[in-house]
Amino acid sequence: MARRADEHVVPTRVMLPRRVVDGPARQVAKRLMMALIVLAATVLIVWIDRGGYHDAADTKVDLLDAVYYATVTLSTTGYGDITPYSDGARLSNVVLVTPLRVLFLIILVGTTLEVLTERTREDFRLKRWRTNLRDHTVVVGFGTKGRSAIQTLCATGLKKEQIVIVDPASKVIEIANAEGYTGVLGDATRSDVLLRAELQKARQIIIATQRDDTAVLVALTARQLNRGAKIVAAVREEENAPLLRQSGADAVITSASAAGRLLGLSVLSPSAGTVMEDLIQQGSGLDLVERPVIKAEVGKNVRETDDLVVSVLRGHRLLGYDDPLASPLQLTDRLISIVRATNEQPTNHTPPTAPRP
């Protein structure tokens, strides 16, 4: 469980979602093309008004001289061997050539300016993100389990801006950014990485790592940083579930056992397996949701509600629908019920949760 002294340290940084831009080669090609267009326009201006220019060498200005003058002028070299001496040539230099010179310089230093501007913009976005982020969801691991958990949360109305993904693989974080999620690159067992994800201000934490020992370390670190957040974790082996609960997880899902039970149920009763799979997939067919008791339901029996209630959450106690203590319903109760999925979930519905042991 302890880290090895020679463990590879993953670089840590926050990566906000960003719009897709052209690649470096294409950006350089665009700027080069713009610079050539400006140069050609300057050559054309000088060539049209070549009679107003004086060449110290042979007094005549031909096409080569026009290209030469345009080059040294736009680059602000200015040797002075070719000069405008007529009023028209000087006027065209002031009105046309000078703006082109400024534009040419802007194109040349555009890359540096863009880098500085982008860095300043990213710093501003990061500061604003840290200031506004609170009561969000931190998802550790963006594999199959993490993706499925996020899809379920988004199906219930959670915005992508309220989800922060932590993963040690840069490719995974890039994929998460492309899908609109904020990512933190780093090892989630380290407290400084979780602090970059603003875990201390998070409302809920989902741990979907590939290894059970990593999940235990993440749960320990997360609970130390945030005492009030709800932590839900997944483990591969059922024997590690108690250890994960002792580490601070409120709910532990055993992925291997859950998949095995679903397989066995599907063998015994394919229809029952289909119903269970339908309940797991949020937003299609039947959904398992948690909602508060409305005033019209207070004092009623569990069976008298419009929804198919399976459990009643009263404080920290989870009561089954057939428990005599579940009825009558109280205003502070929350109902876990099966409802028909719709395109728009009610805003007061949240994914089912388990009480803290």
| Helix then strand then coil, % of the chain, to nearest 5 | 50, 15, 35
- Residue 212's alpha-carbon distances to 25, 184, 280, in angstroms, are 44, 21, 23
pLDDT of residue 96: 76
CA distance linking residue 2 with residue 191, whole number of Å: 15
pLDDT of residue 111: 61
Residue 356 in tokens: 């803290």
pLDDT interval class at 259 (50, 70, 90): confident
CA distance linking residue 53 with residue 51, whole number of Å: 6
Average pLDDT, the chain: 80
Contact in structure between 62 and 82 (CB atoms under 8 Å): no
Q: Which of 26-30, 202-206, 301-305, 351-355 has the lowest mean pLDDT?
A: 351-355
pLDDT of residue 343: 52
CA distance linking residue 354 with residue 335, whole number of Å: 12
Of 345, 349, 324, whose CA–CA distance to 335 is shortest? 349
Residue with tokens 């532990």: 252
What would you measure as the largest C-alpha separation in the chain, in angstroms?
Answer: 111
pLDDT of residue 99: 78
Contact in structure between 241 and 232 (CB atoms under 8 Å): no
pLDDT interval class at 351 (50, 70, 90): very low
Model pLDDT for residues 302-341, shown as the tens digit of each residue: 888 888 888 999 988 888 888 888 889 999 999 988 888 7
pLDDT of residue 74: 78
Residue with tokens 């797991």: 280
pLDDT of residue 253: 86
Q: Where are the alpha helices (DSSP H) in the chain?
A: 24-48, 63-74, 87-92, 98-108, 110-132, 144-155, 170-178, 191-196, 212-225, 241-246, 255-268, 270-280
CA distance linking residue 91 with residue 104, whole number of Å: 19
Determine the average pLDDT of the residues in 13-37. 69
Contact in structure between 248 and 222 (CB atoms under 8 Å): yes
Residue with the bigger pLDDT between 349 and 181: it is 181
Which residues are within 8 A (CB) of 27 and not within 5 positions of it... i.e. 6 or more apart?
A: 21, 111
Give the residues across from 337 on adjacent strands: 289, 309
Q: In this structure, what DSSP letter does residue 350 have?
A: B
Dihedral Cα 91, 93, 95, 99, nearest 10 deg: -170
